[in-house]
């Protein structure tokens, strides 16, 4: 079901339906985010069908309770997403979404539940989930500290949104719940699929050397690489054209 229409699948929305696509791409957004700025990412990828993963407690699932453990995410995605994976697929995760996409991929491979369809993980904007995040988690911050941090890491063109109290109050419960999930550490078990990592050069606490430690979580080490972009935490929004150019090249290099 295409984005913007009534969605039959609560856990994901397809941007533009492409039944003949060779690959499915699932984007796992960051903490608190609904990920609407990804909706045009598939324009230059005619052989790929892109979908956004919808977390409970936001967007059209705003009335639902936010999840607070990775186990809940994996269990619910197993029943809510995996049955709809029907062809080779790629997971793209940003920040919290990187941790969730890795956890789900690991579960799929360990349980042999659609793991054979997984071809690539693209992880963006956070270090690997077996290492502690260098930033103070949202759940330990005051409201004012969270707002200040959101402005610090935001795309500069979008910072003004955090000056609206109603929007901030809506976001705070999501961010604190997501922070609990993002703070969970996993065992460093490498997966038998390629992992590539994108980061923002202006995000000081998540530098290239830290991102490079994702290499510890793949057995396809010869295919691993880190690509940095001239942006902040949300560099994929700030530098969208550059990110999509590199993504297209990485798909060509790794999937064809």
Dump pLDDT digits (tens) for 154-199: 777 778 888 888 988 988 989 999 999 999 999 999 999 999 999 9
Q: Could you tell me the residue ranges of all domains in the chain?
A: 12-255
Task: State if pTM tops 0.75.
Answer: yes
Residue 4 pLDDT? 44
Residue 32 pLDDT? 80
Give me the average pLDDT of each 10-residue run along the chain (256 residues). 58 95 97 80 95 92 94 98 98 97 98 97 97 89 90 80 89 92 95 98 93 98 98 92 97 93
Tokens of 152: 């610090």
Mention every residue, 6+ apart, whose C-beta is less than 8 A from residue 35. 27, 29, 52, 53
Radius of gyration of the chain (CA): 17
Q: Which of 178, 216, 174 is nearest to 73 (CA)?
A: 178
Question: Given CA atoms 181, 187, 188, 194 in this order, what sign does their dihedral have?
Answer: negative
Residue 7 pLDDT? 56
Determine whether 183 is exposed, middle or buried from the number of CB atoms within 10 Å of its CB (0-12, 13-18, 19+): middle
**Nearest-10 Cα torsion for 43, 49, 55, 58:** 40
Residue 217 pLDDT? 98
SS3 35: coil
Q: Which of 201, 189, 78, 206 is nearest to 132 (CA)?
A: 206
Q: Which of 117, 26, 11 is nearest to 73 (CA)?
A: 11
Tokens of 49: 């069908």
CA angle 43, 48, 54 (to 5 degrees): 85
Tokens of 220: 């396809």
Residue 193 pLDDT? 97
Pairing outcome for strands 89-94 and 48-53: unpaired
What CATH code is assigned to 12-255? Answer: 3.40.50.1820
Residue 180 pLDDT? 94
91 in the Ramachandran plot: left (φ > 0), alpha (ψ -120 to 50) or beta?
A: beta
């Amino acid at each position: 079901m295409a984005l913007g229409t009534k969605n039959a699948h609560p856990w994901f929305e397809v941007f533009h339906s492409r039944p003949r696509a060779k690959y499915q791409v699932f984007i796992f957004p960051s903490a608190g985010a609904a990920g609407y700025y990804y909706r045009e990412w598939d324009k230059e990828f005619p052989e790929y069908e892109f979908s956004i993963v919808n977390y409970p407690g936001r967007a059209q699932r705003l009335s639902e309770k936010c999840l607070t453990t990775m186990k809940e995410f994996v269990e619910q995605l197993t029943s809510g997403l995996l049955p709809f994976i029907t062809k080779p697929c790629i997971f793209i995760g940003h920040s919290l979404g990187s941790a969730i996409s890795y956890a789900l991929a690991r579960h799929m491979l360990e349980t042999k539940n659609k793991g054979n369809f997984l071809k690539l993980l693209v992880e963006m904007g956070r270090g690997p989930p077996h290492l502690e995040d260098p930033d103070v988690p949202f759940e330990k911050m005051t409201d004012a500290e969270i707002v200040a941090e959101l402005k610090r890491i935001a795309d500069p063109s979008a910072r003004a949104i955090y000056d609206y109290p109603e929007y901030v109050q809506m976001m705070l419960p999501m961010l604190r719940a997501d922070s609990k999930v993002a703070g969970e550490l996993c065992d460093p078990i490498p997966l038998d699929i390629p992992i590539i990592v994108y980061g923002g050069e202006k995000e000081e606490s998540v530098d290239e050397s830290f991102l490079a430690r994702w290499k510890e979580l793949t057995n396809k080490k010869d295919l691993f690489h880190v690509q940095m972009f001239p942006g902040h935490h949300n560099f994929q929004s700030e530098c969208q054209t550059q990110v999509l150019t590199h993504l297209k090249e990485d798909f060509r290099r790794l999937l064809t």
